[in-house]
Amino acid sequence: MPPLRKLLLTTLACALGAGALGVAPALASHSQVNFFEGSSELLNARTRPHAIAQMQTLGVKALRVELYWNAVAPGSTGTSKPPYDLTNPGNYSWGEYDALITEAERLKWKVLLTVTSPAPRWATSNKKAPYVTKPDPKDFEEFMTAVARHFGPGGPFGSTVSLFSIWNEPNHPAFLQPQWNTNGTAASPRIYRALYQAGYAGLKAGGIASPKVLIGETAPTGYDRVNYKREKSRALLHDVAPLLFLRETLCLNSKYRKSGSCTPLTAAGYAHHAYSTAAGPLYKPKEKDDVTIGVLSRLSSALSKAFHAHGTTSNLPIYLTEFGVQSKPNRYLGVAVSQQAEFDAIAEKIAWSNGRVAAFSQYLLVDDPLGGKPGSSVNGGTIGFQTGLEYINGKPKPLYFGWPVPLTVSKSGHGYSLWGLVRPATGATKVTVLVQPKGSHKFKTLTTVTTNGAGYWTLHSSTKGVKWRVQWKSPTGAKYEGPPIGAH
């Protein structure tokens, strides 16, 4: 059955004795929103219906959509600003964005709208491609006023767009330039601060009295210093490390103390992209200002310090608004597709275990075409993300079956701790856990557990196994089976 991607399964068999099981411990009291981003398919009228049907089956309930300023702005390729009222949404061509958000409204899916570069050519300081150099804050404020009037509560989509975010990866040169000054200090944080303040003001001017806006949207790694004398103009294109970027945006020094007279910024949360390397989600980079998923606590600590230093008006929650595990055939960061499903679930559990995290996400339904090595986009090349649930030809990876029912298994004392989620569930439900005993090629039923109202469950088991997997049957009769998962 195409919409289900052949998730129908055979019936279960062979139960192990219940005496080998421990009691399922209480779950954490929080849950997290799960955003899904698949803009290439969702913003294409030809591919959108199939992608939407797939996402419904997978359990998607919220979308992240990147709104590219130059894609909707009038005269975006010209050097002169159009002589219209650019706070009026009627002067923009919203195109497929309207069609997508209409679908989200129909399905009652909430939308996070990340407004980002490229900017219109006329709004940049140098009028040169890739149109990300010092965008004019006043122009951006006008655009965000139009965005608020069109996508805000008073517009045609009601409250479907429940959350806004300003700029995608502003600490990365593909999205904002320059990243550095010639004296070796970071330039992009102050450029971004002005854009954030302008964007926030624009949302208010557009009729949203208390806009819910995320700040940051930072990439996970970068530099703490550069040497312009040695590298010349190439030095200005290095990423800025995310925690350095956070501090500089909030006018804090390296010890998280105010370094200027900046007023604290108001935001609904801090957005971050905690991608890791092929070493996996437990990898801990030695660079102290980098934040991959394995060192997420660094960001939690930094935000608390920033609040106490009056860099922000509240102690911000974390929104992991872009995340995925690269699989082969990506030769730079890719892991085996079986590992992709395993690593993705471990990363989600790390986020779930951090009480500061308000949202997790999945970046891509279908893989990008293969591109060059990381960083090649700055020189006009393409990178290509292989974080999708499907290969570029539409063939499902193990992650396609694992994402609706993620599972992690970790060694705990003489037993194992299991954690999982039934993503398509709309309330408490029962899920069957299977184990492959050592020396066996078959899976046997371990137990059936009951999830909490958000679909999460945990279990401690003393039964030894080589692999584990889960099965779930929806109220409509659709059957789901996750891929085999090893213990870590």
Give, for all 488 residues of the chain, the pLDDT tens digit.
333 333 333 332 333 333 333 433 334 446 799 999 998 999 999 999 999 999 999 999 999 999 999 999 999 999 999 999 999 999 999 999 999 999 999 999 999 999 999 999 999 999 999 999 999 999 999 999 999 999 999 999 999 999 999 999 999 999 999 999 999 999 999 999 999 999 999 999 999 999 999 999 999 999 999 999 999 999 999 999 999 999 999 999 999 999 888 999 999 999 999 999 999 999 999 999 999 999 999 999 999 999 999 999 999 999 999 999 999 999 999 999 999 999 999 999 999 999 999 999 999 999 999 988 888 888 777 889 999 999 999 999 999 999 999 999 999 999 999 999 999 999 999 999 999 999 999 999 999 999 999 999 999 999 999 999 999 999 999 999 999 999 99
Q: How far is CA 157 from CA 101, 103, 104, 105, 119, in A?
A: 7, 10, 9, 7, 24
Closest by alpha carbon to 425, among 403, 454, 401?
454
Taking a C-beta distance cutoff of 8 angstroms, is the pair 435, 463 a contact? yes
Evaluate the CA torsion angle 302, 305, 310, 313 in order and state its sign: positive
Q: What is the pTM of this model?
A: 0.93
Integer CA distances (angstroms), 429 to 9, 127, 452, in order:
18, 56, 7
| CA dist., res. 348 & res. 36, Å (int) | 13
Q: Which domains does the chain have, with CATH numbers?
A: 2-22+410-481 (no CATH), 33-403 (3.20.20.80)
